[in-house]
């Protein structure tokens, strides 16, 4: 079984925040893959489904971000899961906007949702890090993270989420390197090569 967790804060006030892109991504996966109707469970909005033949529980904790681990811990204990069966999608300050990376384990880098999950199930879960970029100054981080995406950001936000949804079967298969390659290709497809120019040999003037 796979536990797929999107991080964010509950309520309409936060739904367009950069901090909520994990919510947005998991919500899109549920809509576009084979999942049952959502219901409240484990202090979260949950939906059971199947991705690439693997039973999956998609979860968006309904606690605030800094208590996300309560919902994850409840589900892990109920289904007797190992941390390696948990994949958390979250915003990442230290990645440029438009970049997506995957890693297992490691620190939380000040991310309160990751810190909370670490406290409940340990650090060895998988993280899909969705880049939101850094505002450049430490004093601006709080407002940046809890601020809404700008209107000009939305085409890229949609590309990132569409890429994650398209590549979700690779998450279910634990093919994380292939997942990263696939989303990178979908977000920034290679530019078409220009056809080679044909040289034209001009006839010299003469009699």
Q: Please determine, for residue 201, whether its predicted confidence score (pLDDT) is greater than 90.
A: no
Domain count, the chain: 1
| Residues annotated catalytic, as ranges | 19
Asked, for residue 25, whether it belongs to a domain, the answer is yes
Q: Please determine, for residue 35, whether its predicted confidence score (pLDDT) is greater than 60.
A: yes
The mean predicted confidence, pLDDT, of the chain is 91
Q: How many CB atoms lie within 10 A of CB 159?
A: 16
Asked, for residue 199, whether it belongs to a domain, the answer is no
146: buried, middle or exposed (CB in 10 Å: 19+, 13-18, 0-12)? Answer: middle
pLDDT for res 196: 64
Identify the CATH number of the domain in which residue 19 sits.
3.40.50.1470
CA distance 49 to 51: 7
Determine the structural domain holding residue 71 and report its residue range.
2-187
Tokens of 24: 């947005």
pLDDT in tens, 121-172: 999 999 999 999 998 888 899 999 999 999 999 999 999 999 999 999 999 9
pLDDT for res 175: 96
Residue with tokens 């093919």: 175
Asked, for residue 107, whether it belongs to a domain, the answer is yes
pTM of the model: 0.88
Asked, for residue 202, whether it belongs to a domain, the answer is no
Asked, for residue 198, whether it belongs to a domain, the answer is no
Mean pLDDT of 13-27: 94
Asked, for residue 194, whether it belongs to a domain, the answer is no
Strand partners, 102: 128
Q: Are 57 and 3 in contact (CB under 8 A)?
A: yes
Mean pLDDT of 93-114: 90
Q: Please determine, for residue 203, whether its predicted confidence score (pLDDT) is greater than 50.
A: yes
Asked, for residue 102, whether it belongs to a domain, the answer is yes
Mean pLDDT of 1-17: 94
Q: Please determine, for residue 59, whether its predicted confidence score (pLDDT) is greater than 80.
A: yes
**Of 3, 44, 7, the residue nearest 174 (C-alpha):** 3
Is beta strand 86-92 parallel, antiparallel or unpaired with respect to 54-61?
A: unpaired
| Helix, coil or strand: residue 96 | coil
pLDDT for res 138: 86
Asked, for residue 205, whether it belongs to a domain, the answer is no
In eight-state DSSP terms, residue 148 is B
In order, the DSSP letters of 149-176 are PPGGGHHHHHHHHHHHHHHHHHHHTT-H
Residue-wise over 49-70: b if at least 16 C-beta within 10 A, else e? bebeeeebbbbbbbbebebbbb
In eight-state DSSP terms, residue 135 is -
Q: Cα–Cα distances in Å, from 64 out to 112, 149, 153, 194?
A: 10, 19, 25, 50
């Amino acid at each position: 079984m796979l536990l797929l967790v999107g991080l964010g804060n509950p309520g309409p006030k936060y739904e367009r925040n950069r901090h909520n892109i994990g919510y947005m991504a998991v919500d899109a996966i549920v809509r576009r893959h084979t999942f049952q109707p959502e219901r409240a469970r484990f202090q979260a909005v949950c939906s059971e489904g199947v991705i690439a033949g693997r039973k999956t529980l998609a979860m968006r904790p309904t606690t605030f971000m800094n208590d996300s681990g309560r919902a994850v811990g409840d589900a892990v204990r109920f289904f007797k899961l190992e941390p390696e069966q948990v994949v958390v999608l979250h915003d990442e300050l230290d990645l440029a906007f438009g970049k997506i990376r995957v890693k297992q384990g490691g620190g939380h880098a000040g991310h309160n949702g990751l810190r909370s999950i670490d406290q409940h199930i340990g650090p060895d879960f998988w993280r899909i890090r969705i880049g939101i970029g850094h505002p450049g100054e430490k004093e601006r981080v709080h407002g940046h993270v809890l601020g809404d995406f700008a209107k000009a950001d939305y085409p890229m936000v949609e590309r990132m989420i569409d890429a994650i949804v398209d590549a979700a079967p690779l998450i279910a298969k634990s093919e994380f390197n292939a997942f990263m390659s696939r989303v990178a290709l979908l977000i920034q497809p290679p530019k078409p090569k220009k056809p080679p120019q044909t040289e034209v040999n001009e006839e010299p003037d003469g009699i």
